[in-house]
């Protein structure tokens, strides 16, 4: 999936697209999800620095904005960190609040199932297919995908759940980089995977390890790390 970046001449429109994804995701869920997403959106629209990807605001100020107590702020911010939507860029110290970041990639991946509720034009814009919609003669990209059917079956267990999550998030990325990974063991909270080549393992560790680890934690809370050899 092509991730939308709020930069360049169309930055304002891209910001609206990201907020639209959050809105659709919230409305497709229950009251608890709606409240949590609304609170995050309030931080984005009032305190978030889009260019630097920084959110620097104290718990007391957040509590005032949300009209709640600081205990509620701690609980909901912890939930957002566990979801991978908020990351700590610099831990706070005495007299200085923490500097947080927002993982837009993770946010958009999680909200993607709700995009059809907005419309096909939105999906095309967010996935980079907008230009192709008006040109049926446009040729398909010169890409040779991996055949998913050739991937080694994984049976049951956390790795099977993780694979399903990764496939649902981005089928093309899954086929190219995750489908051929094979579980070789698990212990002490670490999931061990084997890649078919050294280059493949290096690429996954460099570019995709964060996504793997997030999917692992969501599939099994006891998994805190993934190693690819």
Query: What are 154-163's pLDDT values in tens digits?
Result: 556 788 888 9
Question: pLDDT tens digits for 49-102?
Answer: 998 999 999 999 999 999 999 999 999 999 999 888 999 988 877 778 889 999
pLDDT > 70: what percent of the chain? 84
> Same structural domain for residues 111 and 187?
no
> Same structural domain for residues 130 and 184?
no
> Same structural domain for residues 106 and 166?
no
Question: pLDDT tens digits for 184-223?
Answer: 888 888 889 999 888 888 888 888 888 888 888 888 888 8
> Same structural domain for residues 125 and 167?
no
CATH code at 127? 1.10.10.10
Q: Is the CB of residue 81 less than 8 Å from the CB of residue 37?
A: no
> Same structural domain for residues 195 and 155?
yes
Q: Which of 91, 117, 141 is the last residue of a domain?
A: 141
> Same structural domain for residues 135 and 167?
no
Task: State yes or no: pLDDT of 6 exceeds 80.
Answer: no
pLDDT averaged over the chain? 83
* Token pair belonging to 78: 């912890």
Task: State yes or no: pLDDT of 24 exceeds 90.
Answer: yes
User: What domain count does the chain have?
Assistant: 2
Q: Which of 84, 115, 141 is the last residue of a domain?
A: 141
> Same structural domain for residues 181 and 97?
no
> Same structural domain for residues 195 and 137?
no
Q: Which of 124, 141, 158 is the last residue of a domain?
A: 141
- Using a cut of 0.95, tell me whether the model's pTM lies above it: no
> Same structural domain for residues 108 and 207?
no
Pick the more confident residue, 23 or 142.
23
> Domain range spanning residue 124?
1-141
Q: Is the CB of residue 4 less than 8 Å from the CB of residue 126?
A: yes
> Same structural domain for residues 112 and 166?
no
The CA-to-CA distance between both ends of the chain, in Å, stands at 25
Q: Is the CB of residue 212 less than 8 Å from the CB of residue 177?
A: no
> Same structural domain for residues 154 and 135?
no
Residue 137's pLDDT is 43
The mean-pLDDT minimum among 20-34, 115-129, 133-147 falls in 133-147
Rounded to an integer, the average pLDDT of 35-44 is 96
């Amino acid at each position: 999936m092509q991730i939308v970046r709020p930069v360049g001449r169309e930055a304002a429109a891209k910001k609206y697209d990201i907020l639209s994804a959050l809105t659709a995701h919230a409305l497709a869920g229950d009251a608890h999800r709606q409240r949590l997403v609304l609170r995050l959106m309030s931080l984005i629209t009032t305190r978030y620095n889009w260019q630097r990807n920084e959110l620097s605001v104290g718990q007391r100020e957040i509590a005032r904005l949300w009209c709640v107590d600081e205990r509620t702020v701690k609980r909901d911010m912890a939930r957002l960190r566990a979801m991978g939507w908020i990351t700590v860029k610099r831990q706070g110290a005495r007299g200085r609040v923490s500097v947080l970041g927002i993982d837009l990639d993770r946010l958009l991946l999680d909200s993607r199932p709700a995009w059809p509720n907005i419309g096909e034009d939105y999906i095309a814009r967010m996935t980079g297919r907008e230009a192709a919609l008006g040109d049926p003669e446009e040729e398909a990209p010169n890409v040779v995908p991996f055949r998913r059917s050739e991937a080694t079956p994984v049976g049951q267990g956390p790795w099977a759940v993780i694979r399903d999550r990764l496939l649902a998030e981005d089928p093309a990325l899954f086929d190219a980089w995750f489908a051929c990974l094979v579980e070789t063991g698990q212990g002490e909270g670490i999931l061990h995977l084997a890649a078919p080549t050294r280059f493949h393992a290096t690429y996954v560790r460099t570019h995709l390890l964060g996504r793997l680890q997030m999917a692992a934690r969501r599939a099994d809370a006891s998994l805190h790390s993934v190693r690819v050899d």
